[in-house]
């Protein structure tokens, strides 16, 4: 005689899926509250109310407001950085094409999504809460710069790039992303820019400089 399954019992996969979905609701609510109230004034009670959960539910995932911000960074951008690292470094193509893929990711998955609000929040709060900048640097910036250095080193090693400036200063590559963020936040209404076209122009200029004849 077949044993009947109890529909009320969830499988481990379903439980984990439900847990992740609930965490995402909390993280989305946290970003809303942090942006509205600022990190200092935001309370976990506010986040719980925004998410429609009990405050105690948040403590099932994180022990503090700072840990909530860290989870927001890891989930919102850190995971995406890990994905693009694997994809770009697995490409059997030129360093230029790898940079193009990375720029496309920046435009599509950061500047074109709510992830950009995490960066805006950091710019607003980092001077008062340097520990937030440390979290973002560890989870996002250092990994992104490391990926850029690896691509640049490959380009130099195979002779595609005649200059090692991007190895020494990978920040040069991400500069237009910061310009785009600041411009669209402050001046887009007054003087709109095409962010995608600007990123393509920047990459073209970099390629001319890196591929130019050795000095």
- Identify the CATH number of the domain in which residue 112 sits: 1.10.357
Residue 3 lies in a domain: no
User: Do 74 and 54 belong to one domain?
Assistant: no
- Identify the CATH number of the domain in which residue 31 sits: 1.10.10.60
pLDDT at 27 over 80: yes
pTM of the model: 0.82
User: Do 19 and 95 belong to one domain?
Assistant: no
Pairwise CA distance, residues 45 & 58, whole Å: 9
User: Do 36 and 130 belong to one domain?
Assistant: no
Residue 6 lies in a domain: no
Q: Which domain holds residue 204?
A: 65-211
Q: Tokens 């995608």, residue? A: 196
C-alpha distance across the termini of the chain, in Å: 83
Q: What is the pLDDT of residue 76?
A: 84
Average pLDDT over residues 115-137: 92
62 C-beta neighbours (distance < 10 Å), count: 19
Q: What is the pLDDT of residue 10?
A: 62
- Using the 8-state DSSP alphabet, how is residue 60 labeled? T
User: Do 182 and 197 belong to one domain?
Assistant: yes
Inter-helix orientation angle 79-90/142-157, to 10°? 10
Average pLDDT over residues 106-134: 90
Q: How confident is the model at residue 112 (pLDDT cuts 50, 70, 90)?
A: confident
Average pLDDT of the chain, as a whole number: 89
User: Do 93 and 139 belong to one domain?
Assistant: yes
Question: Percent of the chain, pLDDT > 90?
Answer: 68
Total number of domains constituting the chain: 2
């Amino acid at each position: 005689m077949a044993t009947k399954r109890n529909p009320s019992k969830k499988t481990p996969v379903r439980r984990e899926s439900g847990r992740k979905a609930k965490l995402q609701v909390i993280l989305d609510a946290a970003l809303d509250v942090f942006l509205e109230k600022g990190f200092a004034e935001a309370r976990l009670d506010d986040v719980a109310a925004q998410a429609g959960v009990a405050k105690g539910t948040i403590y099932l995932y994180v022990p503090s407001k700072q840990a909530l911000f860290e989870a927001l960074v890891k989930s919102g951008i850190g995971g995406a950085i890990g994905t693009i690292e694997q994809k770009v470094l697995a490409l059997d193509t030129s360093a230029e094409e790898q940079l193009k893929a990375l720029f496309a990711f920046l435009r599509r998955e950061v500047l074109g999504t709510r992830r950009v609000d995490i960066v805006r929040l950091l710019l607003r709060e980092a001077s008062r809460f340097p520990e937030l900048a440390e979290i973002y640097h560890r989870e996002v910036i250092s990994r992104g710069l490391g990926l850029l250095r690896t691509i640049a080193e490959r380009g130099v090693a195979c002779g595609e790039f005649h200059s090692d400036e991007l190895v020494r200063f990978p920040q040069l590559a991400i500069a237009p992303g910061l310009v785009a963020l600041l411009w669209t936040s402050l001046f887009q209404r007054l003087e709109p820019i095409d962010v995608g076209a600007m990123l393509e122009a920047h990459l073209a200029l970099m390629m001319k400089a890196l591929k130019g004849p050795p000095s």
